[in-house]
Amino acid sequence: MIITDELFRIALAKLFRSGIPAKVAVALSGGPDSMLLAWLLRNQKRRNNNLDIYAITIDHKYRPESHREAWRVHEWVKGWDINHIVKALEYKDNLDPSTMNNFEEVARDERYKVMSEICSRESIPALFMGHHRDDQLETFIQRLQGNSSIFGLAGTRSISPLPVARDLSPAESPAQGRLQLQIARPFWEFDKADILETCEASGIPYVTDPTNKDASLTRRNYLRYLIGEVIPNMCATLHTDGSTDGIDLTSPYSSIQRSELIKLHASCHEFATLFEDKAQRLSQYLHSHDLVKEYPHLGSLELTLPRPCFQETDCMVTSRFLYRILHLYSTLKHYHWAYAKLERQLVPRIAQFLEQHKPGTLKITMMNLVFEVTNNDQLDLIPMKIYRCPIVTKNAGAIEKQLSLGVEWSEWELFDSRFWIRARSRTSPKQIRIIPYLHKIHKPMVEELLLAAFRPNAKYNTLPVFLEEDTQKIIAFPTLSIGLPDIGLEYEWSLKSNRFAYCEQPSTV
């Protein structure tokens, strides 16, 4: 099927309720998907002179010819009235990317980082990518093999926030004026074959990356080969003359042919979207009724959930809501795996506790958090306190941060994967350490003048404190805005941004 300008316009209308933004970017690899995407956007620009298109080509340096190919793409699009940017990736310690075992993961993170910086600099709210239905199927099978949840099986939506691989400091985060960049995928309902057919019919040039067909190089390549060649051959009807055609419905592999996988993925996507929407409505309800109380300075929160949240299928909705809100407070290194723990362990245990109809409090430690759930059968609301689990003394050293302070602000430091902190000294240079407060150990180390004005107790355990190297005394509790007045020290702090929160489309999208 040819992807006409009209079909593309309809796809854009599904993505952007208020019309396509006036300024957009395209991730232009030079392959058929991105080249067709840039070409179709160029055609839309001819209808709308206000549309400003930026194309970003990343040279991954994986193959010797990648630099030459990137500039060949530049020659192809220079007459398309597109602002084309070519950027070569720089790898940590100048490593050769072809020697990396995790090249795909590293390159993806670096690619998103560069494109995000360009879009931020140019005030671009939407980045277009050529992901299509075949990409969805490959991801779907990967996650199916990995025992993923229904939300993992659903894959990415046709429009979603830019995935961020690391926690951004306050200087980098959208709260400091940076746009929340959206990824737009207008080819989500088109096949790879449709894209190739349109390129051929319209004479659109493109680069063919030979590594994409190497089934031994990556798991995704292998799945592409499996879906595109192996399974069709295994399902084909074999004739006596050795030729094949059609589909042999008696084949044990017919249920995993491409058409069946598309139907299965569509069902998973529909199912996951239904529960995601319900979880978002639950979030809106709880916030609007003041049933979510957050205490950023303590790194904790309190939730009050209606009892039905822990009954039957609503348990999945509750799990998804918790997943969306807890990233701020959890110190997990790979938080994206946390949903399975919530759905399969935490919420079922709470539901089982409530089913016993006994008054009391259940305390569960999971995801480096403590969940305190109180039951009173006379009430329809379930209070839940959530806070950082205790830090074992022998592990405290791994969390510490060392700062050499002068009159200029230090770099932002992420303490315990929760609090961003920076400081400076208004007087002489100063050496301090940021350590987690452990009341039994550190109370004697609190500076006497500070102790006289402030009585710390165990509820402040795990909070960051400043320890002066010279005196080995605790001189400040920065998140509580409590410190000695005469030490000439200034500090700022912020709870990390929630990379997994619900994100509304900006007004321009």
Last residue of a domain, one of 388, 411, 445: 388
The mean-pLDDT minimum among 44-48, 111-115, 429-433 falls in 44-48
Instruction: Check residue 217 and give its pLDDT.
Output: 63
Average pLDDT, the chain: 86
What's the rounded Cα separation, in Å, for the pair 502 and 352?
A: 28
What's the rounded Cα separation, in Å, for the pair 391 and 438?
A: 8
Q: What is the pLDDT of residues 179-211, one digit of tens each?
A: 578 999 999 999 999 999 999 999 999 987 666
pLDDT band at 240 (very low <50, low <70, confident <90, very high): very low
The mean-pLDDT minimum among 58-62, 360-364, 475-479 falls in 58-62
- Tell me: do 200 and 316 sit in the same domain: no
Which element (helix H / strand E) includes 109? helix 103-121
Whose structure tokens read 């007087």?
A: 427
List of residues 6+ apart from 264 with CB closer than 8 A: 140
- Tell me: do 109 and 165 sit in the same domain: yes
Mapping DSSP to helix (H, G, I), strand (E, B) and coil, where does residue 413 land?
Answer: strand
**Does 223 map to a domain?**
no
**Does 218 map to a domain?**
no
Q: Which domain holds residue 298?
A: 291-388
What's the rounded Cα separation, in Å, for the pair 428 and 404?
A: 11
The mean-pLDDT minimum among 127-131, 224-228, 483-487 falls in 224-228
Averaged pLDDT for residues 303-308: 97
List of residues 6+ apart from 12 with CB closer than 8 A: 20, 44, 186
- Tell me: do 317 and 455 sit in the same domain: no
Instruction: Check residue 246 and give its pLDDT.
Output: 58
- Tell me: do 327 and 402 sit in the same domain: no
- Strands, E assignment, 44-109: 52-59, 83-88
**Does 92 map to a domain?**
yes
What's the rounded Cα separation, in Å, for the pair 498 and 227?
A: 36
- Tell me: do 49 and 128 sit in the same domain: yes
- Tell me: do 99 and 178 sit in the same domain: yes
Triad 245, 248, 254: Cα angle to 5°: 120
Smallest Cα–Cα separation from 431: which of 403, 399, 464? 403
**Does 236 map to a domain?**
no
Q: What is the pLDDT of residues 449-459, one digit of tens each?
A: 898 889 999 99
Rounded to the nearest 10 degrees, how much is the dihedral formed by the CA atoms of 78, 79, 80, 83?
Answer: 40
Q: What is the pLDDT of residues 105-137, one digit of tens each?
A: 777 778 888 888 899 889 899 999 999 998 888
Instruction: Check residue 285 and give its pLDDT.
Output: 97
- For residue 21, what is the domain's CATH number? 3.40.50.620
**Does 438 map to a domain?**
yes
**Does 200 map to a domain?**
yes
Last residue of a domain, one of 388, 405, 435: 388
**Does 30 map to a domain?**
yes
What is the percent of the chain with per-residue pLDDT over 90, rounded to a whole number?
54
Smallest Cα–Cα separation from 52: which of 119, 129, 5? 119
Q: What order do you get walking across the sheet with 419-425 strand by strand? A: 413-415, 419-425, 489-495
What is the percent of the chain with per-residue pLDDT over 70, rounded to a whole number?
87
Averaged pLDDT for residues 382-396: 94
- Tell me: do 78 and 143 sit in the same domain: yes
Instruction: Check residue 179 and give its pLDDT.
Output: 55
Instruction: Check residue 376 and give its pLDDT.
Output: 93
How many separate domains does the chain show? Answer: 3
- Tell me: do 198 and 98 sit in the same domain: yes
Residue 302 has pLDDT above 70, yes or no: yes
- Tell me: do 383 and 430 sit in the same domain: no
The mean-pLDDT minimum among 10-24, 51-65, 212-226, 388-402 falls in 212-226
Last residue of a domain, one of 388, 419, 438: 388
What's the rounded Cα separation, in Å, for the pair 27 and 184?
A: 10
DSSP-assigned states of every residue in 264-305: HHHHHHHHHHHHHHHHHHHHHHHHHTT-EEEETTTTEEEEEE
Averaged pLDDT for residues 217-239: 68
- Tell me: do 27 and 128 sit in the same domain: yes
**Does 260 map to a domain?**
no
- Tell me: do 15 and 139 sit in the same domain: yes
- Tell me: do 383 and 403 sit in the same domain: no
Whole-number Cα distances in Å, 254 to 32, 221, 222, 504? 30, 21, 19, 40
Q: What is the pLDDT of residues 136-179, one digit of tens each?
A: 888 888 888 888 888 888 888 888 888 776 788 888 765 444 55
